[in-house]
Amino acid sequence: MKLFKTLLAVSVGAAMAVSSVASAKTTIGFSQIGAESEWRTANTNDVKAAAEKHNVDLKFSDAQQKQENQIKAIRTFIAQKVDLIGFVPIVATGWDNILREAKRAKIPVLIMDRDLTVSDDSLYVAKIGTDSYTEGQKVFAWLDDYITKNNIKPRDGGDKINLVILEGTVGSSAATGRAHGFDDALKASPNKDKYNILASQTGDFTRQKGQEVMESFIKSYRDKIDVLFAHNDDMALGAIQSIEAAGLKPSKDIIIVSVDGVKGIFQAMIDGKANATVECNPLQGELFFETAEKILKGESVPKSVFVEEGVYTADQAAEVFPSRKY
Ligand code: AHR
């Protein structure tokens, strides 16, 4: 009987050991920028949901808009010996040292959403996310087409369509990519002489700063501004409040085009307060964890993978709105 009990204990113990090995979770450390926009919240929710679906032990850290907090979080993930580190680089530069630490610890790094610039590309395995440069190009393409097709004339009676631009976080690839994409498309356009940029200033991707900076643009150029290009929807939504407060009609007096495609801007388009949004897709969690699994299995992955992104205009907004996921 004693022998039977011992055998039973040994076999139960062995079974438990096997099952705990079988269910050992992959641990991934993920450093998110913060919660500056509706888009970012959707991105965070998607990452957390995908981590659960993939049965990953996710160590999530919110950097509250500070690069130094991201560096600290990555250093903590290294100390915790996580299997893989993921992060969204708030700005493009300043990552070499911490990524060298991760490399020395043999922890693979997978970048999400924004791009970074490092001296040695082997410091990270891959980047999955969005293509800000193309987004900027799409903004100009939509705008030029709209102005031409609708024969829009400058409000000040001059010969140039006057633009103001609300830029994203200074030094972020999302802001520089969108700015360069837009500028290059403008310079390459046969209509380039039709446009004049009155002012361009950062609104840090937030609604509040978008509102404040737009207010100051209106103070300086109230009767001149024909177009607002906002690097994200949240800043456009803030700007709409300033435009209305100044007694102007958003989308009519001032044409509004922004980037992201969040529900808030769809509602504004339905309400006749915005004209178009170029999608920047925050639903990157599935692709992130699929890619992470491949990396951890030793499979090769492409250096950059972009998610799909469309362009949506006010006349499609009501039809498309119910199917929007963020
Ligand atoms: O990096 C993506 C950008 O960051 C989104 O356009 C913006 O809303 C977010 O804060």
**DSSP for 121-136, written as a single string:** GGGSSEEEE--HHHHH
pLDDT for res 308: 84
Q: Is 207 in the pocket of ligand 1 (CB under 6 A)?
A: no
Q: Which atom of ligand 1 is nearest to the CA of 173?
A: 1
Collect the ranges in the chain with pLDDT lower than 50. 1-22
Domains of the chain, each with CATH number or no CATH: 26-130+282-308 (3.40.50.2300), 132-280 (3.40.50.2300)
Per-residue pLDDT tens over the stretch 305-318: 998 889 999 999 99
pLDDT for res 6: 39
Q: How far is the CA of 81 from the centre of ligand 1 (A)?
A: 29
pLDDT for res 15: 42
Q: Is 36 in the pocket of ligand 1 (CB under 6 A)?
A: yes
Burial of residue 141 (number of CB atoms within 10 Å: 0-12, 13-18, 19+): middle
Token pair for residue 142? 């939509």
DSSP letter, residue 299: -
* Nearest alpha carbon, ligand 1 atom 3: 174
Q: Is 260 in the pocket of ligand 1 (CB under 6 A)?
A: yes
Q: Return all residues near 23 (Cβ < 8 A) that are at least 6 apart.
A: none
Ligand 1 probe mutation, 127, 202, 208, 232, most atoms within 8 A of CB: 232
Q: Is 167 in the pocket of ligand 1 (CB under 6 A)?
A: no
| pTM for this model (two decimals) | 0.92
Per-residue pLDDT tens over the stretch 169-216: 999 999 999 999 999 999 999 999 999 999 999 999 999 999 999 999
Q: How far is the CA of 190 from the centre of ligand 1 (A)?
A: 30
Ligand 1 probe mutation, 33, 260, 279, 306, most atoms within 8 A of CB: 260
pLDDT for res 124: 98
pLDDT for res 23: 59
